[in-house]
A and B are shown apart, each in its own frame.
Chain A
Amino acid sequence: MFYFIAKRTIISFFIMLAATTLMYFLTISSGDPFEDLGETSGPEKAATIAARTAAMNLDVPPIPRYFLWLQDVGHCLVPGGISCTLGQDRTGAAVLPQLENAIGSTLRLVVVATVLALVLGVVVGIVTAIRQYSTFDYSVTFISFLLFSLPLFWLSTLLKQYLAIDLNTWLANPQFSYLTIALIGVVAGVVWAIVVGGDRRRRLMVFGIAAVATALALYLLLVTGWFVAPGFGVVGMLVSAAGIAVLWTALLAGFRRRRVLNAALAAAGVSFVGYLVSIPLLSDPNWFLVIVLVVALAVVSYVVAGVVGGPFRAQAAKIGAVIAVSVSLLIVLDRLLQAYPTLSAKAGGRPIPTTGSQSANLEGTFWEINLDYALHLILPTIALTLISFATYTRYTRASQLDVMNQDYIRTARAKGLSERTVLVKHAFRNAMIPITTLMAFDFAGVLGGAVITEQVFGWNGMGKMFVDGIANVDPGPVMAFFLVVGTAAVLFNMLADIAYAFLDPRITLS
């Protein structure tokens, strides 16, 4: 293992070195760094040329210039040496501070999009594999192909133009006519009927229940003014916590063991008490406090669920911790939603922003600032997620089908295990192994996609650094961007290989 990591690190280092060389020479040979000065004249021009020549070392031939840049990067690797700047851009400013400013917003975008796409893609992929050749399977296949074929910038522009602007207008006065509510109910009913499937009677029943429930819920939300001042409220939180407990139990343990269900409900109760206790603590916290509270709640739930679980202690305790973390996420979401009315007022009644990664000069509580981040993330995240989602769904489906054909699945069924155990414990875990590799590749792809998304939505992230750098033939920012992206690609590939060997004992690393 250690030998493998050491070997891969050394190889990766040389690959990165070669890749930076390639990238550097491509960048500096891609144009004329003084092109924008072509039409100006006078003493400023000569001064700018002199300043740029000094900042970009243009008086040095290309190959030594590359080594000068490498030297700047080297300063960052050697601790305690000369200060680390990653070189200069063409105005003579150090690149590292710019990168530090840019990297936060880009990473926020990429990580959120990857996680969302992964979760949604895997869930939908598994369901399509289980219900292969159903209407649901065919619809998802078609939608995935459609998403594969969508140009990212085109989709982003459409989202910006239609979704954001119309949604903002609607949020200013959130009302629907009865006809619209009924139509939304019908659409929701059709979707659920397709997802759940079964024979005609069951589909009709699902359709009816889903349609009525959706329409009713929507009506209630509108009447109570939920869209003006959203949040779960105490009752909503209690119901949601119980629902989460039942859901996780159904997925991870099944209902045959009553003690486990009781333990899960106890964990939900603990989490709900935690929610009540945390109300004053969370009025204006910081991330450290939030994380400490989540961990504390998880530990308490772990213990309580373990005690209630009795003979099934280990399983019950794990489910308890999972429920506590899920409810914590819900509490955070609730808090963010509660910050919505004030933030919306501060944004002049147009809460969904179409440009930028955060509002300038926004002052407010922890929740308001984070909700502001979240609202800025909505549109670019939808665009990036939709495109990665297609990949994850297709691969998960193929991988799950592959696993379902294995002999050990037949053995598991033959020895009388419940379908849930077969699917979750035997099939799902093994189907996830190839997805680790996909994630490594996709993450680098999404970083590349962020270049385009940032351009459309006017973010000041790494993608903008790169595009501007290319336009100005300025290798400093371009190479800084590439150092981050390339290192991420190399690192994720190595992690995927290690994870692969860890998850699949048939593979040994050498």
Chain B
Amino acid sequence: MTPHDKNRDDSRASVELSEMTLQSQDTDISTARPTRDQTDRIRTTEAKSQGRLIRERFFRHKGALAGIALLVLIFILAFSSIGFAGLPGWWNKEYDVLAPRFNEGRPTLTLWPFSLGEHPFGQDVLGRDYFALTMRGTQTSLIIAFIVGLVAMVIGTTVGALAGYFRGWTEAFLMRITDVVITIPTVVIAAAVAGIVAKAGIIPFAVFLGVVTWTGLARLVRGEFLSLREKEFVESAKSVGASSFRIIFRHILPNTVGVIIVSTTLAISGAILLETALSYLGLGVVAPDTSLGKAINDNRSALTVRPWLFLWPGAFIIGIALAVNFIGDGLRDAFDPKQTRVKQ
């Protein structure tokens, strides 16, 4: 910083100071806008619920906000464009209708001046509209990812809660099962059965993926329960005769919600990548359904001649996973501010 800069900064600070002094001088202290010093005092005494603190910390995380914006955008684009479950969308082409190829199936999307053209993402080898196909794939991948997150959350939380609360044989039994499943890499256990389950449709496939990815969450929730069950509020609940069921769900579980939400978010982004990887190995979503991974797998030999068939679904996978990861990071910071705080 040059001396000149320094002077300017000092003068600005003094102007601010004098303004504040003026304010506090000519108005009654109780109705005045508080000075910086007073704000600090007010902030420490103002009542804020835990939820509000978490919300405030979350909305300070710019990456997480950008992630939410991106995810919402992708959601709206995917579900409004080609419609969903019989509802029509604004895009006029179907993902499974063959058509003559227009200009070698090249993308007609132009950014400046912005126009979608006939086939914004191009056409695949059979002449199907690739925008509709990608949107359909995005829908499937999103549905699968959220079901996987939900199933993994329910199983992982239940197993972790029961093991952590009851200890003893229940814990030994449940945690050994967890160890057994953790021993097998997720891709491996999923690949072994996915091929069969996937033929039954995307919902059974998604539920199955959830059934093999809950282990990490179970371990985390158990850890939380082990420390929370020794707390005084659990003891007092016991002393007034609350049932185990009530203690677990009313008293302990709400305190572990941070861990559960954060790792469910990360499970969702993991699920997107797992589904695409399995579909790539030919063990995932099967026709007539399509997913982003399947679209890439179908067109993997097209990279040299028709790179857009390979790049568009990839861009959507990255977009979704990136958005979810950033949201997860923001949630982690919001629920556990200790992790990022630095005293220097």
Contacts and interface: CB of A to CB of B under 8 A. Distances in A.
Contacts of A145: 63, 322, 325-326, 329
Contacts of A490: 183
B214 to A, nearest CB: 15
B184 A22 contact: yes
Given A145-B325, A404-B342, A444 B185 contact: yes
B2 to A, nearest CB: 9
Interface in B165-185: 176, 179-185
Interface stretch (A60-68, A148-156, A226-234, A339-347): A148-156
Interface string B306-329: 000010001001101110011001
Contacts, number: 134
Nearest to B304: A161
Contact of A30 (B192, B273, B282, B304): B192
B186 interface: yes
Contacts of B157: none
A27 B183 CA distance: 16
Contacts of A152: 273, 277
A386 to B, nearest CB: 13
Contacts of B186: 448
B193 A30 contact: yes
B180 A157 contact: no
Contacts of A349: none
Given A15-B183, A161-B303, A452 B342 contact: no
A72 to B, nearest CB: 20
Contact of A451 (B181, B191, B293, B342): B191
A486 B183 contact: yes
A16 B273 CA distance: 27
B296 interface: yes
Given A30-B192, A151-B273, A154-B317, A445 B185 contact: yes
A356 interface: no
Given A26-B192, A157-B310, A478-B192, A452 B280 contact: yes
Given A154-B314, A467-B191, A405 B329 contact: no
Contacts of B1: 199
A449 interface: yes
A151 B182 CA distance: 22
A151 B317 contact: yes
A207 to B, nearest CB: 18
Given A11-B176, A26-B192, 20 more contacts: A15-B179, A15-B180, A15-B183, A22-B189, A23-B188, A26-B189, A29-B193, A30-B192, A145-B326, A148-B322, A149-B322, A149-B325, A154-B296, A157-B300, A401-B339, A402-B339, A405-B343, A448-B186, A470-B191, A470-B192
Q: Of B186, B191, B192, which is in contact with the most chain A CB atoms at under 10 Å from its CB?
A: B192
B54 interface: no
A248 interface: no
Contacts of B283: 470
Interface of A: 11, 14-16, 18-19, 22-23, 26-27, 29-31, 132, 141-142, 145-146, 148-154, 157-158, 161, 199, 398, 401-402, 404-405, 444-445, 447-449, 451-452, 455, 466-467, 470-471, 478, 481-482, 485-486, 489-490
Contacts of B4: none
A486 B277 contact: no
A152 B293 CA distance: 11
A446 to B, nearest CB: 9
B47 to A, nearest CB: 28
A161 B185 CA distance: 28
A448 B342 contact: no
Interface in B189-216: 189, 191-193, 195-196
A176 to B, nearest CB: 25
B276 interface: yes
Q: Of A22, A153, A402, A467, which is in contact with the most chain B CB atoms at under 10 Å from its CB?
A: A153
Contacts of B140: none
A98 to B, nearest CB: 18
B303 to A, nearest CB: 5
Interface of B: 1, 63, 176, 179-189, 191-193, 195-196, 269, 273, 276-277, 280-283, 293, 296, 300, 303-304, 310, 314, 317-318, 320-322, 325-326, 329, 339-344
B187 A452 contact: yes
Contacts of B326: 145
B188 A482 contact: yes
Given A146-B318, A154-B314, A398-B339, A489 B273 contact: no
A167 to B, nearest CB: 16
B277 A452 contact: yes
Contacts of A467: 191, 281
Contacts of A481: 188
Contact of B188 (A15, A30, A451): A451
A366 to B, nearest CB: 34
Q: Of B180, B183, B196, which is in contact with the most chain A CB atoms at under 10 Å from its CB?
A: B183
B180 A18 contact: yes
Contacts of A448: 185-188
* Nearest 5 CB-CB pairings of A with B: A448-B185, A149-B321, A448-B187, A149-B322, A26-B192
Nearest to A142: B63
B187 A482 contact: no
Contacts of A148: 269, 321-322, 325
Q: Of A148, A161, A486, which is in contact with the most chain B CB atoms at under 10 Å from its CB?
A: A148
Contacts of A486: 183-184
A486 B180 CA distance: 9
A315 B79 CA distance: 65
A2 B41 CA distance: 57
A204 to B, nearest CB: 13
Contacts of A30: 192-193, 195-196
Nearest to B292: A151
Nearest to B194: A30
Contacts of B310: 154, 157
